[in-house]
Structure 1
Amino acid sequence: MRVHIATDHAAFELKQYLVERLTADGHEVVDHGASTYESLDDYPQLIIPAAEAVVADAGSLGVVLGGSGNGEQIAANKVPGIRAALAYNVELATLARQHNDANVVALGGRMQSLEEGYAIVAAFLGTPFSGEERHRRRIGQISAYEGSVRRP
């Protein structure tokens, strides 16, 4: 699977770890940065292009990282077609895929160990959407709203 990943400084170490682990697992990882640690970088400049890449790359998934993951989830969700879920544990990551067909997972680099972060991402990537009618219906309602919003 192709996985688009991005972070700011706050989860730089986690991103580097995930790129290594996911590549070793056989995933094709596309690293959207940060490519070096910059303590004053701004996450929207890194996260939004990664989210756009997920939308443009059918069948791919995304991982966005920051200190808490909150801002990164918000930024990713501004991209039409993205359903980004903040996950602090394996259960949340699994439910995001099963029930919401989330295509991006957001994690906080300051919220768990590297290994726990990997377990969350691995669960997200390894869980398929259930396809249940009630979940498809709800996602359809969100997509319909998203398509009706006028953008500047």
Structure 2
Amino acid sequence: MKIAIGADHAGYRLKDEIAPFLLSLGHELVDVGCSCGDSVDYPDYAVPVCDKVVSGEVERGILICGTGIGMSIAANKTAGIRCALVHDMFSAKATREHNNTNVLAMGERVIGPGLAQEIVKIWIETPFSEGERHKNRIHKVMAIEAHQS
């Protein structure tokens, strides 16, 4: 799977832990940065990741900031993105099965690299359930998105 990954200054260390892990699982990565602790703005990294997902250049995206909150808010402003902020394994699975999320947000200040790797692995490997009730709910969310455009 081809995955775009991005982080701000508060998440780049976790990004740098997750990237080689994803490569070890056989995935291809597009890293949009950042790669240092100098203060940057999280939307500057959320937008390129989301654009790559929406365009089809990549299948999914991963965003990391201090809490994951800012990245998830910015990501969900992009039409076609369903981003979930996840800090536990149950939610990682549920957000794929029920919401068919295409972007994952995490917070470096909230979880460590071991748990982050578990979350990413579950999120990557869990398919959408294809359940009619879940499809219906996703269509309703997409209708809200279309109405706002």
Amino acid in the other structure paired with 1:37: C
The CA distance in 2 between the partners of 1:4 and 1:10, in whole Å, is 18
Query: 2:127 and 2:58 mapped to 1: Cα distance?
Result: 11
Identical positions, percent: 38
Report 1:14-93 matches (<5 A).
Answer: 14-34=14-34, 36-57=35-56, 60-93=59-92
2:121 maps to 122
3-state SS in 1 of match to 2:11: helix
Distance in 2, Cα, partners of 1:51 & 1:33: 13
The residue aligned with 2:144 is: 145
* 1:11 aligned onto 2:11: yes
CA distances 1:79-116 after superposition (whole Å, capped 9, x unpaired): 10000001011110110000000101100011111111
Which TM-score applies when normalising by structure 1? 0.95
CA 1:119–1:83: 2 relative to 1, 3 Å: same
Q: CA deviation at 1:38?
A: 3.6
Q: Which runs of 4+ in 1 moved over 3 A?
A: none
Q: Over residues 7-40 of structure 1, what are the superposed CA-to-partner deviations in whole Å (9 max), with x where a residue is unaligned?
A: 0011111101111110111001111111x20421
Note closer, same or farther for the CA distance 1:137–1:59 as it changes in structure 2 (3 Å cut). Answer: farther
Count residues in correspondence: 149
Q: Offset at 1:133?
A: 0.1
Amino acid at match of 1:124: W
**Hey, what does 2:111 align to over in structure 1?**
112
Output the CA distance in 2 between the equivalents of 1:122 and 1:49.
Answer: 22
The question of whether the paired residues in 1 share the 8 Å contact of 2:52 and 2:58 is answered with: no
For 1:101 and 1:58, how far apart are their aligned partners in 2? 18
Partner amino acid for 2:20? E
- Aligned-residue CA RMSD in angstroms? 1.1
The runs of 5 or more residues in structure 2 that have no matched partner are: none
Query: TM-score, structure 2 length as denominator?
Result: 0.96
**Cα separation, 2, equivalents of 1:39 and 1:69:** 18
CA distance in 1, matches of 2:72, 2:104: 8
Q: Distance in 2 between matches of 1:58 and 1:73?
A: 20
